[in-house]
């Protein structure tokens, strides 16, 4: 009989080596599994074969009683589903006890999406007559052009961008690489920044990073968040704008324009298309309004 801890180690090694998940993601999975194993040990369960659906449900109830939100409990269940699926595939279990357990109802949190006009207004706020303004405008343009996560934006290196071909290479979650096209506006802004503003910001230093903050170092995620909040305030945008709002808007605007869901999934770097499907509510709402406006019996 393999111990519960040994089985957990096998699964985490599988996620690390076979799936290539990031250290932060592995730590999150490890914390969830450790919590579940502590629950099983308290219940005197020593063999994973005895930890059937009843124990999984009881664990979720305990998490709810401890005050965990539906979203956090759903994350726990996703972790346990992966764990049980792995154990079944490896022959440690005869059947997957987690497969039929439903996710806690968390509702659909609709992402904040900006209009094209709001995007344009924000991008044009920085003073491009100054080096910092040109940098900021280029960052905002690229964030929207490629649907980047803020961590991907601030960690971009010069070698990751090919302006002539109009593509950037991104190392995303789980160290997965993707190549995303960028438009003419982003190409022109980045080209101007690299040729004029970046050398002035570097002040004879060298840096492999595309967007430079102080002393040639990359900007932090927190610094970019504050910068964006300041520009949103200057632009009179009332919505709760975050760096992720640009990513939401990128996906939603593409889908509204008729882009294929799989293509958007590829550009966003989503491993599972169901993650991308959260954006289709925007398209559905757009279609509903068109139907109401133009259909004879809308």
* Beta partners for residue 208, in sequence order: none
Q: Are strands 167-171 and 161-162 parallel, antiparallel or unpaired?
A: antiparallel
Catalytic residue among 149, 198, 248, 253: 149
Pull the structure tokens for residue 70. Answer: 């539906």
Any catalytic annotation for residue 95? no
Any catalytic annotation for residue 247? yes
Pull the structure tokens for residue 168. Answer: 């950037």
C-beta separation of 196 from 143 below 8 A: no
Any catalytic annotation for residue 270? yes
Look up tokens 């924000």; give the residue. Answer: 122
Any catalytic annotation for residue 149? yes
Catalytic residue among 187, 189, 247, 253: 247
Catalytic residue among 11, 29, 231, 279: 279
Look up tokens 């991308």; give the residue. Answer: 276
Pull the structure tokens for residue 205. Answer: 């230093």
Listed in order, strand segments (DSSP E) in the chain are 161-162, 167-171, 177-181
Any catalytic annotation for residue 84? no
Instruction: Report the sign of the C-alpha dihedral through residues 33, 36, 42, 48, in that order.
Output: negative
Catalytic residue among 244, 253, 288, 289: 244
Any catalytic annotation for residue 24? no
Q: What are phi and psi of 171, to 5 degrees?
A: -100, 105
Q: How far apart are the first and last CA of the chain?
A: 64
Catalytic residue among 76, 135, 198, 270: 270
Catalytic residue among 35, 173, 229, 281: 173
Just list the catalytic residues. Answer: 149, 173, 244, 247, 270, 279
């Amino acid at each position: 009989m393999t111990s519960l801890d040994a089985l957990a180690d096998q699964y985490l090694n599988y996620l690390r080596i076979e799936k290539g998940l990031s250290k932060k993601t592995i730590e999150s999975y490890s914390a969830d599994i450790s919590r579940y194993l502590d629950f099983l040990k308290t219940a005197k369960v020593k063999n994973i074969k005895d930890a059937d659906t009843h124990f999984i449900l009881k664990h979720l109830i305990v998490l709810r009683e401890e005050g965990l939100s539906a979203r956090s409990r759903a994350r726990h269940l996703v972790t346990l589903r992966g764990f049980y699926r792995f154990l079944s595939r490896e022959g440690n279990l005869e059947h997957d006890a987690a497969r039929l357990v439903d996710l806690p109802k968390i509702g659909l949190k609709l992402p904040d999406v900006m209009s094209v006009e709001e995007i344009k207004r924000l991008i044009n706020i920085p003073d491009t007559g100054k080096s910092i303004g040109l940098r900021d405008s280029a960052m905002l343009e690229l964030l929207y052009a490629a649907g980047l996560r803020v961590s991907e934006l601030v960690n971009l290196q010069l070698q990751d961008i090919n302006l002539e071909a109009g593509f950037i290479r991104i190392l995303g979650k789980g160290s997965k690489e993707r190549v995303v096209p960028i438009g003419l506006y982003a190409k022109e802004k980045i080209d101007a920044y690299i040729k004029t503003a970046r050398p002035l910001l570097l002040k004879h230093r060298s840096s492999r990073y595309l967007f430079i903050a102080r002393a040639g170092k990359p900007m932090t995620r927190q610094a970019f968040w504050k910068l964006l909040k300041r520009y949103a305030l200057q632009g009179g945008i009332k919505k709760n704008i975050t760096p992720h709002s640009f990513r939401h808007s990128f996906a939603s605007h593409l889908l509204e324009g008729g882009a294929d869901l799989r293509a958007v999934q590829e550009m966003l770097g989503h491993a599972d298309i169901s993650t991308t499907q959260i954006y289709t509510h925007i398209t559905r709402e757009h279609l509903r309004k068109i139907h109401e406006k133009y259909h004879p019996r809308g």
